[in-house]
Chains A and B, each alone.
Chain A
Amino acid sequence: MALFKSITIGQYIPGNSTIHRLDPRTKIIGTVLLIVLLFMVDTFWGYALAALAIAAIVHLSEIPPRLVLRGLRPLFVILLLTVSLHLFMTEGDPIFRFWIVEVTWQGLSRGIMMGVRLALLVMGTSLLTLTTSPINLTDGIEGLLKPGKRIGIPAHELAMMMTIALRFIPTLLEEAEKIMKAQMARGADFQGGGLLQRAKSLIPLLVPLFVNAFRRADELAIAMEARGYRGGEGRTKFKELHFGRRDAIALALAFGFVAVVGLLF
């Protein structure tokens, strides 16, 4: 446990707010709408309204705003890069020049807008994973993909794959740590050396990890078959998704908002 203590898997914050209780399908569609909206708007007011909508959802979800903002931290470098690229590479009316770089008014405004767009995208989409448990999320994806079955999209199988992948992330992490320790006990060094040396030092970790993962996959497949698993055909669910009035209202609001704001701004 100790080596990987900084890694958290999924970021679901359990709760019972209006947003938490929405059908996962509603939330997924809402998130897609939000993404569409953020690529449609191109003015200050458009961004302001989108930000306001996100703030309203955060408030409704009862998730501490600082947790939503924390999602931006790993993106800091990308944000900085986006803003500065636009800042220095856009042609227009110069604010000042220094050596070969030229900063323009147009660059400044584009840079800020792009930065804000990216930040809002991340915050908006992280709201989905913050308020939806991984299991609900896969259920939602399965539900949404179901109509695609007729054209050959294996909805249930995809969802089952996601569920299994999520389930085994902690197991694999634990196993990786165990193997690392065992190799360290034989004098392996995973930190030192140059890039090539480091890549090479990963072999004693990755080979057993893969071998064990395949063995585990085999065993899991057999265990599932032993319990009568035969894919999605005729399979019922313990927890049925329920698309209620709340979801209808939420979706109607989302569609309306995106249509109005997207087309006007």
Chain B
Amino acid sequence: MSIVVEHLSHIYLEGTPMAKVALRDVNLIIEDGEFVGLIGHTGSGKSTLVQHLNGLLMPTSGKVYVDGVDLTDKHTSLRAIRQKVGMVFQYPEHQLFGETVYEDVAFGPRNAGLGEQEVEARVKEALGMVGLDYDALKDHSPFELSGGQKRRVAIAGVLAMRPAVLILDEPTAGLDPEGSADILGKIQALHRAGRVTVIMITHSMEDVARMATRLIVMEHGGVVFDGPPREVFAQVDRLKEMGLGVPQVTELMHELHSRGLPVQTNILTLDEAEAELVRALELRRNGTV
């Protein structure tokens, strides 16, 4: 299932004095199985862009196709599209409303018109995916849970629709390091199992460097870079100019390189950095440099 975005532009409050261009001429094709990291400064249009991918916002001009279906066509069932393209908003726990965890997670599948048996199976599966104990929690009020658990229930509420594409807007914002690593791990596991294509908005360069297969960088409503993280993070200066930056290890390697240590700079993770440093230091000890 692919998502195609053609010449997409969006203007908020068009035709009023407060009109604001949020997206200008964005073109993208997102293929099945990708893990897309979407980064950009606040106000660069990331959130506006992803809201077009399931028809929550309609383009001012341009087209969006999901699985070949034109979302701007009046006859398109947006409900059906939203079952396929699941969206987890920022702080999704602020949208919990169910009396019980079960009721809340069941909201999506029920709206899809599934039978109660199927709904139950979906709820069980979704809570399992986010690592929550179905039997222990299903009858609890979601408001009694801890912050991290609430977030997981909210994410389960989207996963219960079995979306083929999962869009996440800063899924770890406001969580402690452990909770955050846990949620990212669950997302990565879903992606690795081939269950979902992931599009994730984040401000953590480390997270995208580790997880994403493709990185899209936005600025002023347009796409500036689009490619594998290793290529994109090579643009250290340009990224810094945009107020973004690169993973800390990448920056460290750049710094070492500029001070004369012969290391590769296209390093994204700690393990890669370790291997590269050992290699460079051995070269130096052997006196070849």
Interface status of B153 (Cβ within 8 A of chain A): no
Q: Please, how many angstroms separate the alpha-carbon atoms of A182 and B111 in the complex?
A: 13
Interface status of A5 (Cβ within 8 A of chain B): yes
Q: Is the interface of A mostly helix, strand, loop or mixed?
A: helix
Interface status of A2 (Cβ within 8 A of chain B): yes
Across the interface, do A178 and B89 meet the contact criterion of CB distance under 8 Å?
Answer: yes
Interface status of B161 (Cβ within 8 A of chain A): yes
A1-B13, A208-B97 are contacts. A188–B107 as well, Cβ < 8 Å? yes
Interface status of B51 (Cβ within 8 A of chain A): yes
Q: Please, how many angstroms separate the alpha-carbon atoms of A2 and B47 in the complex?
A: 14
Q: Which single member of A5, A187, A189, A207 contacts B108 (CB below 8 Å)?
A: A187
Minimal Cβ-Cβ distance residue in B for A212: B94
Across the interface, do A204 and B92 meet the contact criterion of CB distance under 8 Å?
Answer: no
Please provide the chain A residues from 199 to 223 with a CB less than 8 Å away from any CB of chain B in the complex. Answer: 203-205, 207-208, 211-212
Q: Which single member of B12, B86, B94, B107 contacts A2 (CB below 8 Å)?
A: B12
Give how many A residues have a beta carbon under 8 Å from the other chain's beta carbons: 22
Interface status of B281 (Cβ within 8 A of chain A): no
Q: Which single member of A5, A187, A189, A208 contacts B95 (CB below 8 Å)?
A: A208
Across the interface, do B111 and A185 meet the contact criterion of CB distance under 8 Å?
Answer: no
Q: Please, how many angstroms separate the alpha-carbon atoms of A188 and B157 in the complex?
A: 12
Q: Please, how many angstroms separate the alpha-carbon atoms of A187 and B94 in the complex?
A: 17
Minimal Cβ-Cβ distance residue in A for B54: A185
Q: Please, how many angstroms separate the alpha-carbon atoms of A182 and B143 in the complex?
A: 18
Please indicate the chain A residues that have their CB under 8 angstroms from the CB of B86 in the complex. 185
Please indicate the chain A residues that have their CB under 8 angstroms from the CB of B51 in the complex. 181
Please indicate the chain B residues that have their CB under 8 angstroms from the CB of A2 in the complex. 12-13, 57
Interface status of A242 (Cβ within 8 A of chain B): no
Across the interface, do B112 and A187 meet the contact criterion of CB distance under 8 Å?
Answer: yes
Please indicate the chain B residues that have their CB under 8 angstroms from the CB of A186 in the complex. 82, 107-108, 111, 157-158, 161
Q: Please, how many angstroms separate the alpha-carbon atoms of A211 and B97 in the complex?
A: 9
Of residues B111, B157, B161, which shows the largest number of chain A Cβ atoms within 10 Å of its Cβ? Answer: B111
- Can you pick out 21 interface pairs between chain A and chain B where the beta carbons lie within 8 Å of each other? A2-B57, A178-B89, A178-B95, A181-B56, A181-B89, A182-B89, A183-B95, A184-B56, A185-B54, A185-B89, A185-B158, A186-B108, A186-B111, A186-B157, A186-B158, A186-B161, A187-B107, A189-B79, A208-B94, A208-B96, A211-B97
Residues of B within 8 A of A (CB): 12-13, 16, 51, 54, 56-57, 79, 82-83, 86-87, 89, 92, 94-97, 107-108, 111-112, 143, 157-158, 161
Residues of A within 8 A of B (CB): 1-2, 5, 175, 178-179, 181-189, 203-205, 207-208, 211-212
